[in-house]
Structure 1
């Protein structure tokens, strides 16, 4: 476990599987956590799940529409006033609807960008303003995706949103660093969690058979990376994207091997001398 001075973390998208995993890891490290989501019943269930699994955990929840102009600031202020100063914001709210390009509408495009990018932007700005006003430092961790690097069929809006969120991570780190606020991103590989807002079909999954470590990720894997990058152990790290994907971003482990050189009819010796 990383040494950490995180006392209070706000986790958006906190009712989702990865959000719960992140919040659970932070709670185990001793941080109070406030979950923010628009689904009231799911939020209560998530808070109860974390409280049941981490003895003595302080877990709050706030229902908010983080795509609105006012809710992100209100959520930060409410969390601050209920539980104390916030020193970590995890922007985990996101949706991943499957939308073939020729079926894409402006409404669908806007909805995905609003949840995946706008909510993180507004929440980060609200947190930075409050932290500056209070004379406090802190950390922001954005949850991105390998889709920022490689486009996916029927996911052009999603891939675009995650690429935008990674550039937002760098741009905001540049401007907020002088205030003592670090901004980084954690980019998960395939994590098998089902959610009404992010369903997936098993036949389309790309998991253990395509990464060097040979297994799917877990929400807690993502939580451990968030804990580290927000901790004092990473206090000179900002503007960085951390790939937590079993190595899937290094290449495709599922492709067949190429033919041996001799089977291709290539003759002559192969030099082993260093170039």
Structure 2
């Protein structure tokens, strides 16, 4: 039976990840700063799956809490760093405090938990939750986009140093996922603008959970330092853009090119 620690697991993607491991009979330790919601999630998993679930509520921006989280959880097989915050802060309103809190939760906490996981000894798997914002900035998200870009490089750096210890470190980068989260609310206007993709639907927390579960398991045993983009194909391109020539011009040009290559 694997022991899995999932941060940011009171709801949304983190809760879905916890549920996927619970369905496999894993022993779980869940952490989130929202203690009441965390308890509700843990109770639901115990009832539905009959698994052992421990709760460690706390704020990952507190370095001492983040550093001690893994040791408090006990010997782990899988660590999932799903906790993340994405406040909207226009660049000219950015403060050191606002910047630091996002970096502390989204990057430093993942570093500290991964280091503690490595120090436990033995093999295992770490999966970090990144974002498409790691490669594409947007207004109000300078701190968030920077944190996710840093998290992806942290994933690679940890994979390089921990591979010799039998620990794999990977990341899953979700596209837009429908999550009703009071901690990280988004407007419908924003959701509509960023959720266009070749597969034609918004992501669900379970889409991300399945990817995390696979990366953490034996079928991905030779994968480390990878970033798996689970985004409906939005990274591949924008299907909503029109042809850069109108249809008639494109047909004519295609005919001309065919003649030239004949």
Same fold (TM over 0.5): yes
Q: Where does residue 77 of structure 1 map in the other structure?
A: 71
Structure 1 position 254, deviation (Å): 2.0
Q: Name the residue aligned to 2:237.
A: 251
Q: Which residue of 2 aligns with 1:87?
A: 77
What's 2:22 paired with? 27
Query: 2:134 matched to 1:148?
Result: yes
**Normalised TM-score (structure 1):** 0.89
Let me know the Cα RMSD of the aligned residues.
2.2
Q: Which residue of 2 aligns with 1:40?
A: 35
Match of 1:271 in 2: 258
How many angstroms apart in 2 are the aligned matches of 1:216 and 1:242? 17
Higher relative contact order (CA 8 A, sep 6+): 1
The 2-side partners of 1:65 and 1:21 are apart by: 20
CA shift in 2, pair 1:170/1:265, >3 Å:
closer
Secondary structure at the aligned position of 1:184 is classed as strand
Contact kept in structure 1, 2:175 and 2:195, CA below 8 Å = no
After TM superposition, list the pairs within 5 Å mapping 1:1-275 onto structure 2. 7-54=2-49, 56-80=50-74, 85-130=75-120, 132=121, 136-206=122-192, 210-260=196-246, 262-263=248-249, 269-271=256-258
TM-score (norm 2): 0.93
In structure 2, list runs of 5 or more residues that go unmatched: none
Tell me the SS of whatever aligns to 1:63.
coil
Question: By how many angstroms is 1:52 displaced?
Answer: 3.2
CA deviation digits over 1:81-113, x for unaligned, max 9?
xxxx21100001100101111111111111111
1:248–1:34 Cα change, 3 Å:
same
- Tell which deviates more after alignment, 68-77 or 136-145: 68-77
CA 17–209 in structure 1, closer or farther in 2 if over 3 Å, else same: closer
Encode CA deviations 1:34-57: one digit per residue, 9 max, x unaligned. 111122111101112222332x22
Output one character per residue of 1:219-249: Cα deviation in whole Å (capped at 9) or x when no partner.
1111110110110111100000000111111
Q: Secondary structure at the match of 2:240?
A: coil
Distance 1:97 1:113 in 2: 12
Helix, strand or coil: the match of 2:212? helix
Contact 1:208 / 1:214 at 8 angstroms: preserved in 2? no
Asked if 1 retains the 8 angstrom alpha-carbon contact of 2:133 and 2:149, the reply is yes
State the Cα distance separating 1:272 from its structure 2 match: 7.3
Q: Secondary structure at the match of 2:222?
A: coil
**Per the alignment, in what secondary structure is the counterpart of residue 88 of structure 2?**
coil
Distance of 2:61 and 2:194 partners within structure 1: 34
Contact 1:213 1:247 in 2 (8 A): yes
**Residue of structure 2 equivalent to 1:3:** none
Q: Is the 8 A contact 1:51 1:59 kept in 2?
A: yes
CA-to-aligned-CA distance 1:203-225 (integer Å, 9 cap, x gap)? 11147861111111111111110
